[in-house]
Structure 1
Amino acid sequence: MPQNKIQFLAYYLPQYHPIPENDLWWGKGFTEWTNVAKAKPLFKGHNQPILPGELGFYDLRVSEVQEQQAQLAQEYGIDGFIYYQYWFGNGKMLLEKPAEAMLKNKNISFPFCFCWANETWKGIWHGLDNNKVLIEQTYQGEQGYRDYFDYLLPFFKDERYIKIDNKPMFHVYKFDDIPDIDLFLEVFNRLAKINGFDGVWFVATHANPKTVMSNPEIYGQVGVDVFNAMRYEQSFKFRSGTFFGKVERKVNKKFHFSLVKWNPFILDYGIAIEKLKVNFIHKKYIACVFPNWDNSARIGKKAMIFKNATPENWGKHLKMTLKEVKNNQENPPFVVIKSWNEWAEGNHLEPDANFAREWLEVINKIKNTVLPPKQY
């Protein structure tokens, strides 16, 4: 795919309004803000709680919030939101109301698409010591995919929905978890063509490269090479003397982090982005970047924390990635940013109490200095 314009797309989390399921699992009125507000520092110099800035502890049931978010994103160079979308099968959905409200609100003139977050929800995500299933991701074959497509169709038809070559862009979080990938692709593409599109422009978030390369319809995977590598190393809690124990010590020395069982996994953001750069492993690969990460608000002492995640270092990460994107002209011209507003994971672009709009200002500055006008 020829590259003539690099677009910046940011993941968007809709968990900022109460739902009955979260009330049941976590307590009445639970939202993403519940964990954010009660976060505490775990070590000297640890910045917690990480609090929102000018948008405050917003509620996505208030339409003006999404309008303000869209205006901010557009002003600072974001080209679209990727809404996480939760379809569990048999018509069961969660957190769908913000996207539905946005679809009806024409005051929001901002591009968007969906990422089907096809993953079973488990309590361990929120710091529980067990892996109890809260709600299971299921698949119902052709009829299930038809039902899902029918729900998505009004969004696909909206003039704001991101389309490539008359194909709605549709991200899938875990393509390899779909038990009948070929059937899923066939049903979605067939129904898209029946409804006036030329198919669906699928993007794999996490997928085996073989899955991507063996399916002409799939682009991606979207890769945060630094981030994913670090998350993998987080699981190393083996005894010294074992093979993985030796690996753990070598990685510790190289990346300057501490890893003790039940203690936070601490990395230096500035060092990590220098050591592990985006690697374009094939011609469908899509670069992904992250400005910050500290999910101690969500899971406490088991967290992974990037210290020295500052707007200045974020700018270095983004510049390095853009250089690689420009050097790989055949790859899709997108940079995916993780994320716009995953506050309980300390992963956001929205203004915060410490840096205000500086995370966004980095994007605006780089777009106007690193990229020629024709490339943004």
Structure 2
Amino acid sequence: MLAYYLPQFHEIEENNLWWGKGFTEWTNVKNAKNYFNGHEIRRPIQPLGEYDLMLSEKIVEKQFKIAQENGVDGFLVWNYWFGNEEKILEKPFEKVLNDKQNVKYAFAWANHSWLNKSKGILLKEQKYLGKEDYIKYFAYLKSHFLSENYIKKDNKPVFSIFMPSLIPDLLDLIETFNKLAIEIGFDGIFWLAENTTENDSYRTYFDRYMDSALFLKGRSHYPIKFFLERVNSRTLGKINFLGPFVYNYVYLANIYKKHCLNDNELGVIFSGWDTGIRHGKNGIILREFSESSFQKHIEDVFNKAKENKSDMVILKSWNEWAEGNLLEPDSIFGLNLLNILKNSSS
């Protein structure tokens, strides 16, 4: 099981410029509002608490130890390469690498532009600059790939792409990375494709694929709310006076349960959702996320994976605190979600 991991819990120059000095993901959590009766914000508690990935001593190793003890085999870490060696949030796992921390991890290229969605402002553009830039990207990743802690499968470093459909020369990227991986002793790259379905022809380039958004797409079964959401999405990203939109976790989990995994498709476990924390009234909140509904969802995904003879499951996510999408110890569930995962995966 690989759990998505967000490395934005430390200050960077760009976020200080865009959002104010001292901004990290914790800023959004601290400022989060309750939007309706019974709506609670999940906040960090010990043994991890509110950490700083650059200041806390081997905090990622501590996180991974807790994750591993409860059924997570590795972190699938969001990696940001905007082209021409422009990177963001890369330092925490450079620290993990250089300090030789005991952390099993692989990267997922978050190949999307950064936006201020409430104001419709482009903050940082994702660029695709062709083969020479892909060679530079691989050169940056190379030391990670060669680390004994980087996750490999079939003598191939695991590497995921968030939105393959956005890459105009996707095959060039894949062929370049595979060739360079072979040159340093691997048998190529073990490719994962996110936001991908059986209808995407490019999925044949990948070893495994998944669509973690599929769970949330079930909200289209709420016709009136979904219509209003679509209307709001056409207002140039301006403030939504109707939201946040609230859907039912149990209902969406039951819809997802009916989805049959295809060959090489991975099941995805959803550990809650509340983007009202990050996007305010433009957010989406899933109510009725509880220990029992989470346990049922985990069992359903594991059963689907077993039926499909799948060798991997994705957890979304380990620490997306500003999306209410996490498994770390929190003020509402404590360690109980971890215990549920441990018991379900044993």
TM-score, structure 1 length as denominator?
A: 0.84
1:227 corresponds in structure 2 to 216
1:80 and 2:74 aligned: yes
In the TM superposition, what are the counterparts of 1:181-196 in structure 2 within 5 Å? 181-196=170-185
Query: How far apart in 2 are the matches of 1:363 and 1:301?
Result: 31
Instruction: Encode CA deviations 1:237-263: one digit per residue, 9 max, x unaligned.
Output: 189xxxx9xxxxxxxxxxxxxxx9522
1:316 corresponds in structure 2 to 296
In the TM superposition, what are the counterparts of 1:329-368 in structure 2 within 5 Å? 329=309, 332-368=310-346
Deviation, structure 1 residue 46: 1.0
In the TM superposition, what are the counterparts of 1:286-305 in structure 2 within 5 Å? 286-305=266-285
1:18 and 2:18 aligned: no
Deviation, structure 1 residue 64: 2.8
* Residue ranges of structure 1 left out of the alignment (5+ in a row): 1-7, 245-259, 369-376
Aligned partner (choices 149, 159, 172) of residue 160 of structure 1: 149
1:113 corresponds in structure 2 to 106
* Secondary structure of residue in 2 paired with 1:161: coil
Contact 1:298/1:345 (<8 A) preserved: yes
Instruction: Encode CA deviations 1:140-182: one digit per residue, 9 max, x unaligned.
Output: 1110000000000110111111111101110000001111011
Contact 2:219/2:226 (<8 A) preserved: no
* Residue ranges of structure 2 left out of the alignment (5+ in a row): 232-239
Residues 364 and 147 (structure 1 numbering): CA distance in 2 closer, same or farther, change over 3 Å?
Answer: same
1:308 is aligned with what amino acid? E
Percent of aligned pairs with the same residue?
A: 38
Query: How far apart in 2 are the matches of 1:229 and 1:323?
Result: 20
Contact 1:89/1:140 (<8 A) preserved: yes
Aligned partner (choices 166, 177, 181) of residue 177 of structure 1: 166
Aligned partner (choices 111, 114, 139) of residue 128 of structure 2: 139
Query: How far apart in 1 are the matches of 2:220 and 2:91?
Result: 31
Instruction: Encode CA deviations 1:49-106: one digit per residue, 9 max, x unaligned.
Output: x210111111001233212101111111110000100000000000001110111222
Residues 179 and 218 (structure 1 numbering): CA distance in 2 closer, same or farther, change over 3 Å?
Answer: farther
Deviation, structure 1 residue 279: 2.3
1:43 is aligned with what amino acid? F
1:92 corresponds in structure 2 to 86
1:28 and 2:21 aligned: yes
2:243 corresponds in structure 1 to 263
Query: How far apart in 1 are the matches of 2:8 and 2:83?
Result: 19
2:256 is aligned with what amino acid? L
1:148 and 2:140 aligned: no
Contact 1:278/1:287 (<8 A) preserved: no
Contact 1:82/1:113 (<8 A) preserved: yes
* Secondary structure of residue in 2 paired with 1:215: helix
1:361 is aligned with what amino acid? N
2:44 is aligned with what amino acid? P
Contact 1:167/1:201 (<8 A) preserved: yes
- Comparing 348-357 with 223-232, greater Cα deviation is found at 223-232
Query: How far apart in 1 are the matches of 2:296 and 2:332?
Result: 19
Contact 1:209/1:221 (<8 A) preserved: no
Contact 2:197/2:211 (<8 A) preserved: no
1:60 is aligned with what amino acid? L
2:43 corresponds in structure 1 to 51
Residues 261 and 284 (structure 1 numbering): CA distance in 2 closer, same or farther, change over 3 Å?
Answer: farther
- Comparing 217-226 with 86-95, greater Cα deviation is found at 217-226
Instruction: Encode CA deviations 1:313-367: one digit per residue, 9 max, x unaligned.
Output: 11100001111111112xx411100000000101100000121111111111112
Deviation, structure 1 residue 281: 4.7
Instruction: Encode CA deviations 1:218-250: one digit per residue, 9 max, x unaligned.
Output: 4203445322333897752189xxxx9xxxxxx
Contact 2:151/2:158 (<8 A) preserved: yes
In the TM superposition, what are the counterparts of 1:266-285 in structure 2 within 5 Å? 266-277=246-257, 279-285=259-265
Instruction: Encode CA deviations 1:185-225: one digit per residue, 9 max, x unaligned.
Output: 11000000011000001100113534456634442034453
Residues 77 and 17 (structure 1 numbering): CA distance in 2 closer, same or farther, change over 3 Å?
Answer: same
Contact 1:223/1:286 (<8 A) preserved: no
1:80 is aligned with what amino acid? G
Query: How far apart in 1 are the matches of 2:124 and 2:341?
Result: 37
Residues 213 and 96 (structure 1 numbering): CA distance in 2 closer, same or farther, change over 3 Å?
Answer: closer
Root mean square deviation of aligned Cα: 2.0
- Equivalent pairs, count: 334
- Comparing 211-220 with 135-144, greater Cα deviation is found at 211-220
Residues 12 and 278 (structure 1 numbering): CA distance in 2 closer, same or farther, change over 3 Å?
Answer: farther
